[in-house]
Amino acid sequence: MINRDAVRHVYGADVYSTDGDKIGSAGQVYLDNHTGDPAWVAVRTGLFGKKESFVPVRDATLDGDRLEVPFSKDKVKHAPRIDHDRELSPDDEEELYRYYDESGPDHTDHHGADESDGRDAPGRTDDDAMTLSEERLVPRTRTEQTGKARLRKYTVTEEQQVSVPVTREEVRLEQEPASGATTRAVEDSPAGPDPGMTLWAERPVVTTEAVPVERVRMRKETVAGTETVSGEVRKERIELEDESEHRHDNDRRSP
């Protein structure tokens, strides 16, 4: 049996009959309105998968990407054609259940109401009463593919700043009191330019290196929420049609 946790794995799976014949590929999964369990799967058949047939999944089994249903290939391909772009109505389900020779939800109860004594049948009247019926919105869900996600790396460039300690050489003048000997040495030295002193300084230089900083992986999770949908419903109303003689007498007496 396919449970709700396995629904996400059904979409796109190859569908096989119990005889091992490939029928097609699985499409949308439809959930039962009362229990929330998977009830139907739309199977794409035909040469290019353009046709879809609804198949009950109550007795289906899922093994990896292989979905096996207890029906033959011809049985599925000749199932009643129902528009898969809308919700399955109770009449649609009844037709499908009859075709697959299964009992649908509340199948017995529906027929029991039709074969009752008629006191609660819609539109059935007795001596002085009439039962009214009205349509109600039936909430249900279907699973469909909304997109695909994959990981892709790309490179962006940004400006960064880094502080680099540097050193440099500077000249300082040191003055000492002159002595007689020193004075004579200076006076006796030949005249010429001072050879000077070489100064050195460090300049900041930046390079780059690639280092691993993080590991990223994808993980799917199911998020539950609620959405509001709207639709039109029809309701039966009763009006009194009085055709008694008393009414006609009043009409004739009216000015």
| Mean pLDDT, range 231-242, rounded to an integer | 82
Is pLDDT above 90 for 168?
Answer: yes
How far from 138 is each of 104, 110, 216, 229, 232, CA to CA, in Å?
A: 16, 16, 42, 10, 11
Q: What is the pTM of this model?
A: 0.41
* Helices assigned H by DSSP within 100-215: 107-114, 180-188
Q: pLDDT of 226-236, one tens digit each?
A: 888 888 888 88
Look at residues 4, 37, 52, 38 and name the one whose alpha carbon lies nearest to residue 15: 52
CATH of 4-114, one of 1.20.120.550, 2.30.30.240, 3.40.50.1100, 3.30.360.10: 2.30.30.240
DSSP symbol at 162: -
- Lowest pLDDT segment from 126-135, 137-146, 184-193, 233-242: 184-193
* pLDDT above 80 (res 242): no
Of the candidates 64, 54, 55, 56, which has an alpha carbon nearest to the alpha carbon of residue 14? 64
Q: Over 90: is that where the pLDDT of 202 sits?
A: yes
What's residue 117's pLDDT?
42
pLDDT at 49: 53
Task: Check pLDDT > 80 for residue 110.
Answer: no
CA distance 184 to 189: 9
User: For residue 181, what pLDDT is reported?
Assistant: 54
Q: What is the pLDDT of residue 118?
A: 40
Looking at residue 69, its pLDDT comes to 92
Give the residue extent of every domain in the chain. Answer: 4-114
